[in-house]
Every structure is written in structure tokens, then in C-alpha cells.
Amino acid sequence: MTDDALFDATSLNDLSLSNRVGLAPMTRISATDEGLATNEMAHYYRKFADGGFGFLVTEGVYTDDAYSQGYLNQPGLVTGDHVEAWTNVTDAVHEVDTPIFAQLMHAGAQSQGNTHLDGDRTLAPSAVQPDGQKAEAYGGSGEFAVPKAADETDLETVREGFVRAARNAVEAGFDGVELHGANGYLLNEFLAADANRRDDEYGGGPESRVKFPAEVLSAVADAVPEEFVVGVRVSQEKVTDGDYEWPEGEEAAAVFFEALSAAGADYVHATETDATSPTFGAGGPSLAEAA
């Protein structure tokens, strides 16, 4: 195993990584009711740093006090109190000289619990109800709501939320952020032709569907220090539809990955249920190989 490239040191921007094994983001609902990271969360992430991971990516963190929250007891990076609470986590991880990135997430139509809104109200590119049922393990039940189709004001709120959360991540001591553009959440919904039925500049073919996620990524990259890492997670599959595929196949993947890279992504995190399986037909590459 010592000859495996996974265990070779490498660098990412100005960060020196002891190996190429990163802790993947995993949904957790262990923050306070107000979205504050806890001492238990600091201990949780510190354990992975102690275990030798080259870098860590947190669970999805909500980005604004409008529609972004996806679960009750999900952590946020919106307020000064959020920043202070996360500082305890980053300090604990940095004691072991391990970088940690905050995954910035807007739940979109797949939101299952939001303390900032009255009732079951969600936001998406278009008014398309997600398939499937909410997960009781995350505090949800029943069908998802039919989301509001985002107007220009909503899109600006989303964009500003990601930018503010990224700046808060810098203040909280994170080494980078990962924008959650996978698994059917808001940025991923823009990429998906079935969820994105817009007839404006953000809907249509792959070049148009990737435009808003790329704009958000570019705005975040411009708002943080040059050495601060900005990554993006991408999938075809959704939490509510594990079989979804982009209708343009590998052509869409090429457009999406090139646009997101050009917008300022320092890395692309490709994810599917089976990351090693062919994604575009039986003989095609995996999504990671396509990226």
C-alpha cells in the first residue's frame, strides 16, 4: 500500500497535504437548533484528523437565512455566532495540522426542514416537485413541497448567501470551501434538465444550465483570498432519484466541468452511488474519469 499514489503527499494551492485521501462530506444533524457547531462536532472532526486523513470536508452547511437550510439541526455559516462556533472545530482540526473545508450547501427543492421560513416553502430553478419522500432519519416525512421558481431577486439572494458564507468560512479558520453542486440540491438542480425548465439565460442546453452555478462559483472565488481553496461537488444522481442522467450524457459533463473549472474551481469532487462504475453507458467512463 505504501506504493499507492493515494498515500503520496501533494499540494492544493498553498496547502501541503500529507496524502490524497479526503474525508467526504456526510450529512449530519448534530448542530444546535440555531445552527451552531458544537463541541461534539469538534471532537468528531478531530478524530478523522487524528486518523490520518489528508484533508476534511464538512457536512453541508447552509448559506443564508432564506431558503438554503435543508435540515433541522443543520449547521450554518450565516451569523457571527456561527463563525465563532465553527472556529472551535477548525482549531481542533488544525491542532493535528490537517486542512478542513466547509461544504456550502443550498438545499433547493429537497429541503426537509428550515427554521427561517413559516410552513413548507422551498426554492428551485423551476416549480418541479422532487420525486420520492422526505427521510425520517433527517426529521422529514411525506412528500416534498412544490418549490417556488426562483426569480432574479431570489437568485441574487442565493449568490450573495454563498459569497457571505465563504467569507465567514475564511473568518472561522477554514482552509477552503466546497460548493455543493451534487445530489439534487439547488446548484445541481440547475444542471438537471428535468428540474431546470427555465426559459431564460439559465435554462435550456448544458451551456445555459451550468451558467448560474458557474456564476456562484466565480463570485465565491473572487470574494476569498487567492490561496483559499474553492472546490465544487458534482453528480448526475440525486437524493430523490438515484437513476437520473443528464440527457446529453458525456457532452453535458464536458460542458459542466469545463465551465466550473474556468469559473475558478481548484478541484472537482465527482460523486455517484458507485464512483467506479461507468456513468455514460456500459463502456463509458466513470464521472470522475470524465471530470
The C-alpha cell at 182 is 451534487
Q: Count of alpha carbons within 13 Å of 86, Cβ hemisphere only?
A: 31
Distance CA 186, CA 6 (A): 31
Backbone angles phi, psi at 190, to 5 degrees: -65, -35
Cα separations (Å) of 177 from 52, 148, 217, 284, 290? 20, 27, 10, 30, 23
b or e along 68-88 (b: 16 or more beta carbons within 10 Å of the residue's beta carbon)? Answer: bbbbbbbbbbbeeebbebbbb
Q: Find the helix or strand (DSSP H, E) in which 5 lies.
A: none
Considering the candidates 71, 138, 185, 202, report the single residue annotated as catalytic: 185
Strand partners, 186: none
**Looking at residue 76, what DSSP letter applies?**
B
Q: Mark whether 67 is an active-site residue.
A: no
What is the DSSP code string of 38-67? -HHHHHHHHHHHHTT-SEEEEEEEE--SSS
- C-alpha 85: how far from its chain's center? 20
As annotated, the active-site residues are 185
